Structure 1
Amino acid sequence: MDKFMESPWFLRIVAFLLALLLYTSVNFQQDDTVQDSNGAGNNSETLEVPVNLYYDTDNLVVTGAPETVAVNIQGPRTIVQSAIRLKDFEVYIDLTNAEIGQQEVQIQIRNLSDKLTATIDPTYVTVSVQEKVTREFTVEPEFNADLLEEGFIAGQPTVDPKTVQITGAKDIVEQISYVKATIDTNGTLDNTVTREARVQVLDRFLNKLDVIVEPEIVDVTIPVRPIEKTVPIVIKREGVLPEGITVESMTLSEESTTIRAVSQEILDQINDIEIPVNMAELTGSREITIPLELPEGVLLMEPNEVTLTITLTKEVTFTEIPIEVEGLGENEEIEFVNPETGSINISLIGSPEVINSIEADALQVLIDVSTLEAGEHEVALSFTPPENVDWEISESTVQILIQEPAEG
């Protein structure tokens, strides 16, 4: 065995095997390199591709064509990837020679490398080719009334411009029943607003129609105002005043108030706001701050309180107030002819506080006879009333008789 391994033939056989192994390895790598550089090895990719339409856009309208289709591309990996990255091919429908009406057409592809194959899904579609018409329609503005803040009401919405031009297939345009612009706003509305709104074109079943609207956006104005009005504030007297008390005046700091109601119906039913005053409890002049009571269905009132100023008077009559005599001589006597009682009645009118403080003993009625001789005379009464009262006496003059005593 050792002799064989040392022989020249053994070395030649080993050298040949090594050379064969090296040759095979190099050629296999070169084949792989060439295969990779040429993009051999199939690859498949599917992507959504927009569909271009070719037709007489000035006079025709096409409906029913898909906006995109699924395209499956197969071929060498690098070429497939390049086509997907560059998107330098086009998917289209050729309707340049199409006739009016429905028809089945093929979706085609072009500008795709001849080393690639493409499968389009769907391959055929049914489209409708119609005469193109343009008509003018009035836009109807609208909004959701639930957006109104409580206590507010909306007037008739307006839109600018009032009309739009609608272009589409003749049979589609003839289906138009509603052209609306609905305002969309965040939150509630408590004042007049103007917002942009997209015009919607609907058939009688409220299905949206595929047409072109010019302009597509319009301005919608919603006039919003509070449900309010100004009403008078009225004093409502209740009960009976205490005896002898009369009301000289009752005045309010505010003659009217503005109310806001939840609905126009409730607002229309309110003609004034009443302030009840219990007359039986009034014993003197005063100022009272009175909160205004909200009627049912009224949200707010401004002002919501008033000051009521009450001025009262009390009348009292003091009877049989004796007439005092001044200036009567020592030897003279006086007799009251009229009034025989030598007294009068005095009526005082003033605030209850003042009247209640007056005592009959404080009232003094005088006649001055110092310059009168004996005989019958009519003499004016002198009365000094208390402060801050009006007064009236039952007699302004009296008839008296002055007598000198008879000599004994």
Structure 2
Amino acid sequence: MDKFFENNTAMKGIAFLIALMLWMIVTLDQEGTAPIRQTEEQLTIDNVQVEAVYDEDQYALMEMDETVQVVLTGRRSLLNLITLRQDAYRLYVDLTELGAGEHRVPVQHEGFPEDVRVTIIPSSVYVVLEKKESRTFPVRIDFSGQLPEGYEAGKPLVSPGEVEVIGPTSVLEQVASVRGVFNLERLGRSGKQEVTLKAYNHQGQELEVEIKPEVVEVTVPVQSPSAMVPVNIELINELPEGLSLVGIHPGTDEVEVFAPQNVLDQLGEISTTLDLSTIDESKTVTLDIALGDHWTAVKPKQIEVFVEVEPVREQLYSNVPVEVRGLASGYEVSFKSPADGKLQLAVKGSEQRLKTLKQSDLKVWIDAKGLREGDHRLPVSVDLPGDLTASPRPSEVEVRISSSKEAEKTMADVEEDEDENEDNKEGE
């Protein structure tokens, strides 16, 4: 490598190459910075949209030439830029100072580069402005679709029933009706739908006007078969401690249900629930009647129920006999404790209810089902109306189950037959 750099011929060659490169850089830089003269060209754009600027609340634009031709003159680079960015410019006519009538208005422009000459053909357009006015029209509702078999749509209730129609006088004079369409197949349980309105002429053609409000609420009552159905009040939870239920007195025993006939035929009763834990005194409560499957309505939707309660009282009954249930055939029961098979019963309830309770209404019993001979301790059960509670004293009894005389006789006969069979076998 050292020998290479010591060679004069090699060093001269390298110096020449460096000088050549520097000359080329300078020459190219001078050529790149030299001004380039560009000739002007023309660009023609057809069907350019013209925007109308006017007071749209007061006037309606009835007629106008909406497009014109634009001829642009300028450098190619600017024309290319305009072609790429057509949203950067606009053509418009200013009608803000004009009143109703026919006018010829110059077309103005904005957004074009300053170095581009703009020629608009034609340079003005013909426009017709008409004063707007407002009139009130009643709303008509048409039906589409069909209701299920057995149902019939009643007269629609529209809110609001009249609307304001705004437009040019010549168009308002053509308005024959303002209507909307209610789809019966989308009829929900509420019977309500929001309906969009449109204005039509006598030929049924839609007119371009402004309607306020454009959307109205329409309620369509549905007439369907109905039946009076009894209401069953189901009690849930318990009354607060210290209270006893005297009675439940509904304001009505039945409600009217609207539904297809096949649904009504299978409807026996309607159930609603009363939560006793919310009752702290005698009072009237309101219970909801929920809509069932395939019902269209129920009247009334709520019923009032008077719930009567009283403080709990206790009444003691003595010598109440204990009934034996479920004892198998061939057995008999004798009481060991209490020996007479009778006990005391403390019954709790309202004073009014206890006054009407007879001792014969008390059903005290033990379950001997499946028990065989021997001594048994059994819990005591009590049957009472649902608005009363009872505590047997004692809560358990001791009994002895033994075979009855008939059972013993039956067993003796069986043993005798078995002995005879054995003797017969030996004789053979």
Question: What TM-score, normalized by structure 2, do the two folds share?
Answer: 0.40
Q: Which has the larger radius of gyration?
A: 1
- The structure whose residues are more often helix, as a share, is 2
